[in-house]
Amino acid sequence: MPDLTLPPTPPVPLAALLARKDLGLRQIAGPSDPDIAIHWAHTSEMPDPYPYLLGGELLLTAGVHIPEAAGSGTYFDDYVSRIVEAGGVALGFGVAPVHDTVPRALVAACDHYDLPLLEVPPPTPFSRVARAVWQLMAQARLAELRRVTEAQQSLAAAASRPDPVPSVLRQLAQRVSGRAVLYGPDGTEIAAAGRAATGTETREALAGLAQVVRPTVTPSASPTSATDTVPGVHLAAYALGTGQGFVLGVAAPRRDPGDHTIASVAAVLLSLLTGEHQSRTGADRSSALVRLLLGASPEDVASLLGADRWVVVHARPDAPAPDPVAASALGAALGSALIDLAADVVRLLVPADREPAPQSGWTLGVSAAVAPRDWSAADIQAARALARARATRAPLVRHGSSGRPGLAELVPHEEAEAHARTLLAPLTAQPALTETLRTWLSLHGSWDRTAVALAVHRNTVRQRIARCAALLDADLDDPDVRMELWFGLRHL
């Protein structure tokens, strides 16, 4: 994946430093190019500053190193040429206390080597000039960070729109004032946005750069990003992390320090969008959904989902309500992308060979392992297990976790189900009563724990249980009655 580090500190335009009236700087030689930028300020009185420069400096000197006979030889030419060779972008010469004026031979040398020469007046110490450079850099850094933050927010919003891929490309193209292209695994343009008037040379160069970063048979041999330039245009390409060969290409008239970070964010979002819909697993899930919507049975589509037996998991977060990001993270932790996000609960369909484990910040209810034809029954089991987990404050409860055979297994399922329907017929028209009775019995008649499990007031539980007793014409304090009702509820 692309590196999502913060953008580097932007350089300071030389013109911005000259515009600081409190410094009193004056350019007296060299070009007045508005694109000249300073990366930092450095003071040196060495006759050869080359070993001490990294490139991009405004070099400040008071001329202490200048010998008396320098004007009649090649001293200034040698001095200025070494600064240029080291990558220095400007020279600041302090007038007084060593020299009353800037030496004319130094002015001539700077003009000859196209090095901007600034006159620093006596009231301005070099430390003030250096501080001004850092202040301008800090201001530029803050502005660039603000631009990157706004771009990240707009890209995230674009990814949530109905047409996420074109929206992300449009937003990226707008933020870099250029063109953004998504290339497919075969190198063709899948989608593009931004300036359409891109020359043939630029389009071909960008497509070629995309080929450089596209994963090959040995993906580690390909870089994740690459840059290039053609006349007047900066190019960049980013391999998307889907493993499918998708590449993001960007062409812009300039390349600001934050553009790499902005493009990297877009690449991550496009990786998620293309990976979900283009991967084999994602395609199979889409096929399974379409077949179910068109009338296929769960057994017919189960083979597309990669497992024969499944468990259903119901999960509630400790936070007030689940959100899509938290639900996706939970699915990743449990090893399933089959997630249903509801108002207060997350439901997941998990292959039975991936044993769900307790998850920090969540309460889980897990069904028994079932075949696809029994998914609906497993959904009910998971809901009941979750209710019990919340009532007992357990992080995870599994349906039938005791594992012991019971008397209920001695009665054929069909007969038990028919008996349950007859026994509980008075309650079937009021599902809330049935669920309240089931929860209340599972919690041994505890009003408070039942209220917690159902998220209702304890008085509501009392009223519902009293209503159940009246409709069933039964004494719910009788353990035999409770046992028979529990037997019926388990088979209803």
Residue range 98-123, pLDDT digits in tens? 999 999 999 999 999 999 999 999 98
Output the 3-class SS for the chain: CCCCCCCCCCCEEHHHHHCCCCCCCEEEECCCCCCCEECEEEECCCCCCHHHCCCCEEEEECCCCCCCCHHHCCHHHHHHHHHHHHCCCEEEEECCCCCCCCCHHHHHHHHHCCCCEEEECCCCCHHHHHHHHHHHHHHHHHHHHHHHHHHHHHHHHHHCCCCHHHHHHHHHHHHHCCEEEEECCCCCEEEEEECCCCCHHHHHHHHHHHHHHCCCCCHHHCCCEEEEEECCEEEEEEECCCCCCCEEEEEECCCCCCHHHHHHHHHHHHHHHHHHHHCHHHHHHHHHHHHHHCCCCHHHHHHHHCCCCEEEEEEEECCCCCCHHHHHHHHHHHCCCCEEECCCCEEEEEECCCCCCCCCCEEEEECCCECHHHHHHHHHHHHHHHHHHHHHCCCEEECCCCCCCCHHHHCCHHHHHHHHHHHCHHHCCCHHHHHHHHHHHHCCCCHHHHHHHHCCCHHHHHHHHHHHHHHHCCCCCCHHHHHHHHHHHHHC
**Which range is least confidently modeled, 24-33, 91-100, 223-232?**
223-232
Statement: residue 198 has pLDDT above 70: no
CA of 74: how far to CAs of 59, 106, 117, 196, 442, in Å?
20, 10, 18, 53, 99
319-339: average pLDDT: 74
How sure is the predictor about 256, in pLDDT bands with cuts at 50, 70 and 90?
Answer: confident
Statement: residue 86 has pLDDT above 60: yes
- Across the strands, what pairs with 312? 349
CATH of domain 26-123: 3.40.1390
pLDDT at residue 21, as a whole number: 93
pTM listed for this prediction: 0.46
pLDDT at residue 242, as a whole number: 56
pLDDT at residue 2, as a whole number: 38
CATH of domain 407-491: 1.10.10.2840
459-480: average pLDDT: 91
Q: Do domains 148-278 and 407-491 have the same CATH topology?
A: no
- The 10 Å Cβ neighbour count of residue 441 is 19
How sure is the predictor about 359, in pLDDT bands with cuts at 50, 70 and 90?
Answer: confident
Domain map (residue ranges) of the chain: 26-123, 148-278, 309-398, 407-491
Quick check: 255 and 249 in contact, CB under 8 A?
Answer: no
Statement: residue 153 has pLDDT above 50: yes
What class has domain 148-278? alpha beta
